[in-house]
Structure formats: C-alpha cells, structure tokens
Structure 1
C-alpha cells in the first residue's frame, strides 16, 4: 500500500471490556505536550485507569530520565503507570537536539539498549552501560521508586528485529500498521496487508518461543467508521490509501461497518493474529463508544476487546 498516515500528535486510549483501560499520551518532543506532565495531571483526577506514553521515542530519550518520569508517574498514580517505547522515526526530533539520526540498525540497537536500561532501573537495579548507543554510569533510581513490582512495557512497531525482540521481552506487543517513513519525516506508508501481519505475528511468536507466557498483542486503530454500508466505506478508504477494499475491511487498524460487523471483525483479529487489545486515536472515541455499548450487551463476547488488565 502507498497510502499514508501520521503517527502523531494524537491522544490514544486502550479499550477493555470494562471501559477504557488506559489513557495514553503521544510523545513527540517539540510538537506535543510533555506526556508525563500531562499524565500526572490526568492521574490526579482518575482512580483506576492506566496512564502511559504511546510511544516514547528511544532515540532521543535518555534511560535514566525516562525511567525517572515513569517512576514518578507510577507513584503519583498509585501504581497505574505503563511505558510504551519505540525506536523513533521523525528526523526533526534528532535535528532539534543537534543530533544525527541513526540508520535503521542504529535506531534498533539504541531502542534495545534504552528498553533494557529502563526496565532494569525501574526494577531497582544499578545500571552501567558503556556503548555507542547508550552510556550510563552507576545509574539508579533512589527516589521516587515505582509502586508496582513491575511496570508494564509495550514494545513494537513494524521493524523485523524489534518485533522478534519484543516477542521475547515485552508485556504487550503493539502492531501499528505504519510502514516506511516518507520524505516529509512525519507521514508513513501503511502496512495493512493480512499476509504482512501474518509475518509480523510469526516474528513475535519466534521471539516468545522460550517464554512461559507470551506477550499480549494490541493493534493501533487508525480509523473508525460506524456505517451501514461497510463495503462502500471501505472502497472509499481504499481509494485514498491505494489498496484493496477487502484488505481495509480485514485489517485490525480500521473498524468499519455496523457495530455487529466490527465485533465480528475483532473476533477474526483475535483468531488469526491473537490481538486482544486496541489503542484508538482520540478523534474516534465517540464511534468507539458505540462499539463498546454493543459489546457490553454480550459479556461473553466482550473479551475480544480486552486490553491490558
């Protein structure tokens, strides 16, 4: 497909059978509010909903500072913080810091180093790393410390190495449906092809092969259209994205049709790809509420929308 989407700035929610499971904030320095400052404010006026970034950019975030932000959020929210981390893609975020944007392999290496360091720091370990991607010296979190024994981590994206690595290390693997970054530095090609998602899920399963419990999987929903004529709606979207309407209807990145058709599609996503959670763009929450209202009428079916509980 050669249609495009921007990854942000957006506000994102994760859907669960009992309502929204998490309030998640985009993390694009310079173009969005600081996610952790905003989430601390949200935590002060909520009691149960999880709070976290979606996703923090490992390429420009230092692990000690990022872990400190997450630990502070966890303390203020009484144990509701979570962290989603990606390798980063937007050249401007490196440019504004006067840093050179690494190639794909370099971004993957830094992502892994930052992820491992953050997890170790949040677990109370002292971390020293001397490497080309990350350098820390006896880094540790003395205070604040997280309330949770283990802060949940979401890793993912579309990169082959990251998906396999996420299968081995993530609590949740996020499938974005976003492909190559286009020359403007913000927009992406979309990757909604079912066979392509099959390959991505296979990579996750390869990474998770030695684990007792495989990570949960969630999809980043780019659009929601509650409509009586799903085929016509999908055809119009397919024209914009230069793809096949059948792929749009089958994709976990778009909810299209009546609420019953969307429910059935979600069940298909779980059977085929093991997707049991969804992060949804803020602009589509009214439409998502219609789907949730329908699911609540069928408790035995509601688990298809379960996020991270």
Structure 2
C-alpha cells in the first residue's frame, strides 16, 4: 500500500533578491531536512524555474529539485526533455519532473499564448508525456499525434535517473488524476481551479470529502501499480499556532467552507507542532498522502515537523 511510504517534505520557493539569496534558500531547505525544493512556473514575479533549479542543485548536495509544475503550453516537450535531462545529469540524479496542462489565466493573457479549452490542454499534456519518455529513452523514436510530430529523434543528454526522472503530475479532476495514476510516479492531489486563479471557488473543491473521491479515482486507474505511487499535496496555508480553533475560525471565510471543514482540509496545516504531526499521520492513513509540500513562508516554522516525521 502507498500508505507505508515514509514521509518526505518539500518547500516551494519562487524568487530571491539575488544569487546569494537564492543559494541561501536552497541550502536552508537542505539543512532543515526538506527533501525537495520546488518552484512554480509562471510569468509573474518569480525566477525562471529551469535556471534557478540548476543553481539550487549546484549549491546543495542532497536536495532534490523540481517544478511544481512546468506548464506544458510554454515549452515544446523536446525542449523540456533536453532541459530536464541536463538538470538531472548535472545534479547527479536529483530532478523531479512536474508537468501540468496549464491553468493561470493571467499568464496566458499577458504572454499572448492562446488559452485553449481544458480538454485540449490536457490532451496536449498527455501527448507531451509520451514525447518526454521517448526523448529520455535509448535510441531514436517517432511520435505522430494531434499536437506533436517527432521523427527519428534521439534525445541527448540522457538523464542520470533511468529510465527517466520521477514524473509528478497533479490535478483535481478525474481525467488528469487517472492519467497520472497510470503514467506518473508521484501524483499530486489538488483542488480544481475553475476561475484560472487561486480563490474560494478553488478552495471548496479541495475538501476532505472531495479528496476521498480523488483518491478513489487514483486507486481505480492505477490498479496494480497503486502501491508504487507516491501521493503528494501542496499546502496553501501552514500556520504554527497555539490557537488552532481561533485561527481556523478566522481562516474559514477565506476558504469559503465551514470551520469544521478547515480542520481536516487536506491543503492546510494549522495548529501546534504536535497537532500538525497528528494531522499528517491521520491524513496519510486516510489518503496515503506522504509527500507534503509547504510554501516558502513556512519553511522555518514548519521545520520541527520535518525533523520529527521525515523518513518515518
């Protein structure tokens, strides 16, 4: 069962004031026991993920790095395969390759990249996974699809991790989660984002009851490979506090759900270190969630939880 997996923890950073500041953040994550430094992939106030992830890997020795997640619409998969294989090779096999179909409306509006219907974007991402795996493989391959045509391409360099770096695909709807269950090594369980931005309408799709259903879809689609999957959740709020009830009461309107639903909300961690450790253990039991990612603003406050649970 996936629930037997030990805990590991990631932190999502987006930017830094300069090179030394970025190196400091990467080394801090490693020193505090985090497994992975993740980055988003947007056109706003953040560093370029591919370049910054390589810099983070260069500055550390054990820290894994990855995008959470690359937007498939921004790069042809042959280009992404070369970039990711290069990071994996130069880091000694420390890349986790996160890929998504794209969702942030403002990115598309600002860049002029067409925001096509979700069905088209997801179909294109599914094809991209086939191209990525082909490029990472041994020898030339062909791909003839609706969105990509690749002929006789032999990707170089090859990644250090074989047959390829762990693939992380996350989603909130059945099609993407089922695809991830069949094709990825790490499945991210997310809210859906109906308005193209993180808001209350997105938050209400990430409740405990919704997550029960999502894990069911993953189990069904994965079949015999379910036990090999690692289930992941990104947390939008991580608050270490002695006033759990009061903080939940205050946060509930932001999530658009009752306080009692915030208490077991899979994408928020609120309470003392002891309470959060208990929550994570119960969520792993219920949903097999063992790979926990927090935002950069929580990296230090959350470190006691990492120290207590990582590897257990």
TM-score when normalising by structure 2? 0.84
Q: Structure 1 residue 33 and structure 2 residue 47: aligned?
A: yes
- State the partner residue of 1:52: 66
Structure 2 residue matching 1:166: 3-state secondary structure = helix
- 1:1-309 to 2 correspondence within 5 Å? 10=14, 19-29=33-43, 31-95=45-109, 98-142=112-156, 144-149=157-162, 150-176=164-190, 178-182=191-195, 185-188=196-199, 189-190=202-203, 191-211=205-225, 213-293=227-307, 295=308, 302-303=310-311
CA distance in 2, matches of 1:207, 1:199: 13
- State the partner residue of 1:307: none
CA distance in 1, matches of 2:310, 2:105: 40
In terms of mean alpha carbon deviation, does 24-33 or 48-57 score higher? 24-33
Alignment coverage as a number of residue pairs: 285
Cα pair 1:192 1:247 within 8 Å, conserved: no
Which consecutive residues of structure 1, in runs of 5 or more, have no partner in the other structure? 1-7, 296-300, 305-309
Structure 1 residue matching 2:297: 3-state secondary structure = helix
CA distance in 1, matches of 2:166, 2:42: 21
Shift of 1:158: 0.8
CA separation of 1:135 and 1:30: change in aligned 2, threshold 3 A? farther
More strand by share: 1
Structure 2 residue matching 1:59: 3-state secondary structure = helix
What are the Cα deviations for residues 71-110 of structure 1, in whole angstroms up to 9, with x where unaligned? 1101211111120011111234444554422211111101
In terms of mean alpha carbon deviation, does 31-40 or 79-88 score higher? 31-40
Which consecutive residues of structure 2, in runs of 5 or more, have no partner in the other structure? 1-11, 16-24
Cα pair 1:276 1:303 within 8 Å, conserved: no
In terms of mean alpha carbon deviation, does 248-257 or 64-73 score higher? 248-257
Structure 2 residue matching 1:39: 3-state secondary structure = helix
More helix by share: 2
What are the Cα deviations for residues 200-250 of structure 1, in whole angstroms up to 9, with x where unaligned? 001110111042743110110111111112111111110222211121111
In terms of mean alpha carbon deviation, does 198-207 or 211-220 score higher? 211-220
- State the partner residue of 1:5: none
Cα pair 1:52 1:84 within 8 Å, conserved: yes
In terms of mean alpha carbon deviation, does 147-156 or 210-219 score higher? 210-219
CA distance in 2, matches of 1:218, 1:159: 15
CA distance in 2, matches of 1:57, 1:265: 31
TM-score when normalising by structure 1? 0.84
CA separation of 1:72 and 1:243: change in aligned 2, threshold 3 A? same
In terms of mean alpha carbon deviation, does 242-251 or 24-33 score higher? 24-33
CA distance in 2, matches of 1:212, 1:251: 23
